[in-house]
Amino acid sequence: MTRTSRPVRAVAFALAPFAFAFPAFAQDSGDPIVIPIHNWSSQIVMSHAIGQIFEGMGNSVEYVSTDSQAVYEAIRLGDAALEVEVWEGAFGASFDAAKEKGGIHEAGNHNAVTREDWWYPLWTKEACPGLPDWEALNACASAFATPETGDKGRFLGGPVDWLKHDAEKVEALDMNFTVVNAGSAAALWAELAAAERDKTPIVLFNWTPNFAEAVWPGEFVEFPKWEAGCDSDPAVGPHPDKVYDCGNPADGYLKIAAWDGMPEKWPGAYAVLQKVSFTNPQIAEMAKLVDVDGMEPEDAATAWLAANEATWKPWLE
Amino acid sequence: MSMAGNIPLRPHQDLRPRVALILIGAALVLILGRNLLPPGLMRAPDWLVLPFADWINVIFAFLRDDLGLIHVTRAFAAMLEWLLDVTANLLYGKNRWPRLGPLPWSAVAVSMAALGWWLGGWRLAALSGGTFVWIAVMGQWQWAMETLSVIAIAAPFSVLLGLVMGIMAWRWTWAAKLMNPVLNVAQSLPHFAYMIPVVVFIGVGPKAGAIVTIIFSVPPMIRMTELGLRKVPEEVVESGKMGGATAWQLLRKVRIPTARTEILIGVNQVIMQCLAMVVLASFIGMPGLGQKLLQLLQALKIGLSVEIGITIVLIAVVLDRLSKAWAMRQPVHHDETLPWARRHPVLVVWALALVAAFALAQIFPLLHQVPRAQALSVAGPLDVLVDGFIRLVDPVTTWLRWFLITWVLIPLRDGMLWLPFTAVLTGIAAAGWSVGGWRSAAVVVAFFGLIALSGWWDRAMITVYMVGFSVFIAALIGLPLGIWAARSETRAGRMLLLCDSLQTFPSFIYLIPVVMLFGVNDVAVVAAVVTFAAVPLIRYTIEGLRGVPAELVEAAHMSGTTRRQMLWHVRLPMALPVMMVGLNQSVMFSLFMVIIAAFIGTQDLGQELQRALSATDVGKGLVLGLAVAFMGLAVDHLIRRWSESRSAALGL
């Protein structure tokens, strides 16, 4: 018996009565439901949790690792069946583009909000006590200076393909900062870990829910509040002639996407998927099991399911 | 003899330095008159920038949708997937036909040890068996088997395909003519560039991983097969013909067995290339060690990812040794009168051990599968070690970062971007002309001219600057190390082993510590690239110095040269052509690594390639990939030409 199949079977046994109770599930195709996984833990654990629920219903499930942007093209073509974490900020554009081409749709919405913006670990406050206000941050820009940025402060942005508008924001708010883009999330954490050693002040791109919250306590920078149209209409926001003169939305969506062929091919699984909804603390807990407690993602999913039956059992009804 | 042959210079060779000087003068004029230049000479004007990416996308859309190529590729992928499912079931128990697996790890380890014993004696048995024990005990069995289940299909496929294409290239001149430029480009194209079309045509998952692995690993096999077949002596073929062999029999029974050594080197190269792809292929769905490694790095678990890196190196070493031993192995002829068991002792022992392993695995589950929770780990001490090292060198790196950024890298980079593209092209033409006359000048200008036409000039210059500086630093480190290591055989052997390991160690792991040391900037990129680019320089310096004919050294010794004179006037000049091959490879490695360093954060072609991959933009990806490939090919052309004329002059 393999390492993965043991917990899977445990769940299968736990769910066996449900499978009998709902013969409708029997219509599901015998082909494996392909769930894509990416390179951050909450997504992997959540994928395994949902996959294990499907397996408990008698479906066969397979996980495939893919790029988190390219995945929407794969789902559209039916190479993968669903995506459990569609972040508004990071993947909204790719998702919308794929929806336009056809083949993919929104299957559900988590009861969670996502936020992605400038963020700092708490030790930064010592060097810049006025935080989290953005004007206070701007006033102590020199504390964030690096050799690459000269006198200006450095803001460490995410990879360019995340399509953030940090440079526009700096320009619109006339900030004394230069945006340096890291090439991967791993590079962001590496910088953060290095800064932690001697408590160097650092301001970087971060998001919630995320494992980093558990490892490095910190806060988001408070920019002028997001208003609809801030990114397209210069009149919106404090500066009447600038776009992006505001923070990112503090309550972005977290959706579930599915292949258009899924409701027909696996109606039972699809019905459950539509009801799936996790909250911010639940997602953070999943990430923590792996990133802090050092569990394997599949074991973490089993453990989470075992501890939270009250959450997911009703979805099967 | 060759010295004498070189004395009567052909008249046009005389002109070369002069033309080169004129071209350099022209480049200088362009640089000095920069402020007076019309903008069209600073950067390629808009009307000259051709929409290559759009053209490629149109062609791909036509191939895929109108010609229906996607059905062909998908059908092929489905066939491949069926094979992958079989190995996946046997090795890690994926729920597919034949539903026999997973094999207990002890049974696999015993089999690998037996294979090692059969091919190369007890040392190889210990190495290959030990490696699989390590994998199991470290709790990486499932991941390693996921990786091997793909390689077990991709490598044989690649060997077969390479063999067939190599035979075609040998048999028909047109095929060779067609394949040669394609292979040249394929071998210098960054991996990300051809991963995008694979995603479009094949999709994601193990099958896509297998296909990029095949594409990446097949060129050396084609090359070696063709080379081997060409080297078969005519006498051997003649004797085959006299024996009345048909063309097919000649090929199968005479030519291929005679070309065995080259073909087996090709097989060995295929295996090495497959392992080099383990991590990169996981970007498009290859399961296993590579995928796990990326996940662990994402969560900053350096110790655990180093463990995986060690496993990848160990698997590479084992497969390398096994395939080399297989290449060296001569057929053994037994005395027919001996009993069967005596003639096949390995087979008997293996069968017995296998039965024992299966039986014991039933009784002791730990011999079947080591769960992650019970696995050993050296991650803790490794993390402490890495952390301690970073703390220790922190003052030095902080200073180094400041110094390099402020005084070297930013000025260099601004300088590269400041140059008019016409001046760069003229300078390149000068280099080409001085090395190989107008032909070489035309070749290298064509390569760089196309980059200018693609509209990615600025990004390409940033790549050039990072590769140039990294190779420079790599040479500063690699050449002295190589010279030092070449002094004694044992030292050279150890250094070469280290080179091999560094080369197969997944480069992604370097990316995180260099960011911790230097931060997200070009210093970190250069540090990561240098680690990789120094390897071929060290290797070929050692090979070159050891290859200097002993008589020559002896003769110089007799005429009373000092050690220093011996090195500078005898050994190094003689070794230079081989060392230049090292430089050539170093440039290639740097180009690949600079592209991967996009994951640290760069502003060059690599960053755009990364963007093209996530947007599955085939056209853009191929244009960027070709821009990188053309740089590599231009450098390759210059160094090769220079090295050839140099070797001729030295009479090598």
- According to DSSP, the residues that pair with A36 across neighbouring strands are A64
Cβ–Cβ below 8 Å for B102 and A2: yes
Using an 8 Å CB-CB cutoff, list chain B residues near A5: 93
B598 at A interface, C-beta within 8 A = yes
Q: What is the pLDDT of residues B558-578, one digit of tens each?
A: 988 888 888 888 899 889 988
3-class state of residue A180 by DSSP:
strand
For chain A, which residues make up each domain, given as ranges?
24-113+253-316, 115-220
- How does residue A53 score in pLDDT terms, banded at 50, 70 and 90? very high
- According to DSSP, the residues that pair with A208 across neighbouring strands are A115
- B218 and B161 Cβ atoms separated by less than 8 Å: yes
Cβ–Cβ below 8 Å for A34 and B205: yes
Cβ–Cβ below 8 Å for B142 and A34: no
How much is the pLDDT for B12? 52
Among B405, B510, B608, B614, the residue to mutate for chain A (most A Cβ within 10 A) = B614
- How does residue B14 score in pLDDT terms, banded at 50, 70 and 90? low
Residue in A closest to B517 by C-alpha: A194
Which secondary-structure segment (H or E) carries A120? strand A115-121
Cβ–Cβ below 8 Å for B205 and A1: no
To the nearest whole percent, how much of chain B has pLDDT over 70? 97
Q: Residue A125 is encoded by which pair of tokens?
A: 């406050």
How much is the pLDDT for B615? 78
- How does residue B123 score in pLDDT terms, banded at 50, 70 and 90? very high
**Distance from the B282 Cα atom to the nearest Cα atom in chain A, whole angstroms:** 7
**Distance from the B309 Cα atom to the nearest Cα atom in chain A, whole angstroms:** 17
- How does residue B211 score in pLDDT terms, banded at 50, 70 and 90? very high
d(CA B627, CA B591): 11
Q: What is the pLDDT of residues B33-91, one digit of tens each?
A: 888 888 888 888 888 899 999 999 999 999 988 888 889 998 999 999 999 999 999 99
**Distance from the A240 Cα atom to the nearest Cα atom in chain B, whole angstroms:** 32
pLDDT exceeds 80 at position A11 = no
Q: What angle do CA B450, B452, B456 make, to 5 degrees?
A: 110
Using an 8 Å CB-CB cutoff, list chain A residues near B602: 183
Nearest to B520 among A60, A161, A180 (CB): A180
Using an 8 Å CB-CB cutoff, list chain B residues near A60: 95
Cβ–Cβ below 8 Å for A65 and B285: yes
Q: What is the pLDDT of residues B294-315, one digit of tens each?
A: 888 888 889 999 999 999 999 9
A147 at B interface, C-beta within 8 A = yes
Residue in A closest to B371 by C-alpha: A3
B178 at A interface, C-beta within 8 A = no
Q: Please identify among residues 499-538 of chain B the ones whose CB lies closer than 8 Å to any CB of chain A.
A: 511-513, 515-517, 519-522
Total residues belonging to chain B: 652
Q: What is the pLDDT of residues B589-643, one digit of tens each?
A: 999 999 999 999 998 999 999 888 877 889 999 999 999 999 999 999 999 999 8
B611 at A interface, C-beta within 8 A = yes
DSSP, res B602: -
Using an 8 Å CB-CB cutoff, list chain B residues near A33: none
Measured from the Cβ of residue A29, the count of other Cβ atoms closer than 10 Å reads: 16
Q: Residue B516 is encoded by which pair of tokens?
A: 């911790």
B439 at A interface, C-beta within 8 A = no
Compute the Cα dihedral for B508, B514, B516, B518 and give only its sign: negative
- How does residue B13 score in pLDDT terms, banded at 50, 70 and 90? low
Cβ–Cβ below 8 Å for A147 and B402: yes
pLDDT exceeds 80 at position B141 = yes
Using an 8 Å CB-CB cutoff, list chain B residues near A200: none
In our burial notation (b when 16+ CB lie closer than 10 A, e otherwise), range B299-322 reads bbbbbbbbbbbbbbbbbbbbbbbb
For chain B, which residues make up each domain, given as ranges?
17-48+419-454, 401-418+456-650
**CATH entry, B401-418+456-650, from 2.60.120.260, 3.40.50.2300, 3.30.450.20, 1.10.3720.10:** 1.10.3720.10
Cβ–Cβ below 8 Å for B520 and A183: yes
Nearest to A156 among B512, B513, B520 (CB): B520
Among B204, B413, B595, the residue to mutate for chain A (most A Cβ within 10 A) = B204
To the nearest whole percent, how much of chain A has pLDDT over 70? 92
Total residues belonging to chain A: 317
Q: Side chain identity at B557, as an amino acid letter?
A: H
B142 at A interface, C-beta within 8 A = yes
Choice among A229-233, B455-459, B545-549, B640-644 with the minimum mean pLDDT = A229-233
Residues in CB range of B19: below 8 A, 6 or more apart: B433, B434, B438
Statement: A24-113+253-316 belongs to CATH 3.40.190.10: yes
CATH class of A115-220: alpha beta
How much is the pLDDT for B260? 87
Using an 8 Å CB-CB cutoff, list chain B residues near A3: 141-142, 369, 371-372
- According to DSSP, the residues that pair with A121 across neighbouring strands are A218
How much is the pLDDT for B645? 86
B282 at A interface, C-beta within 8 A = yes
Choice among A56-70, A169-183, B485-499 with the minimum mean pLDDT = A56-70
Q: Please identify among residues 187-206 of chain B the ones whose CB lies closer than 8 Å to any CB of chain A.
A: 199, 203-206
Which secondary-structure segment (H or E) carries A169? helix A166-172
To the nearest whole percent, how much of chain B has pLDDT over 90? 58
Cβ–Cβ below 8 Å for B610 and A161: yes
From residue B508, alpha-carbon distances to A115, B303, B393 in Å are 29, 13, 21
pLDDT exceeds 70 at position A298 = yes
Using an 8 Å CB-CB cutoff, list chain A residues near B516: 190-191, 193-194
HSE value, Cβ hemisphere, 13 Å, CA-based, for B114: 18
Say what the pTM is: 0.88
How much is the pLDDT for B194? 85
Cβ–Cβ below 8 Å for B601 and A69: no
Q: To which residue do tokens 């590269």 refer?
A: B416
Residue in B closest to A187 by C-alpha: B600
Mean pLDDT of chain A: 87
d(CA A82, CA B338): 63
A160 at B interface, C-beta within 8 A = yes
Q: Residue B518 is encoded by which pair of tokens?
A: 């230097």
B607 at A interface, C-beta within 8 A = yes
Q: What is the pLDDT of residues B446-498, one digit of tens each?
A: 999 999 999 999 999 999 999 999 999 999 999 999 999 998 989 999 999 89
CA dihedral A49, A115, A212, B510 (to 10 degrees): 90
Residues B489-508: what's their mean pLDDT? 89
Residues A183-193: what's their mean pLDDT? 90
Q: Please identify among residues 72-111 of chain A the ones whose CB lies closer than 8 Å to any CB of chain B.
A: 73-74, 77, 79-80, 94
Angle of helix B410-418 relative to helix B457-485, nearest 10 degrees, comes to: 130
If you count residue pairs, one on A and one on B, with CB atoms under 8 Å apart, how many are there? 160
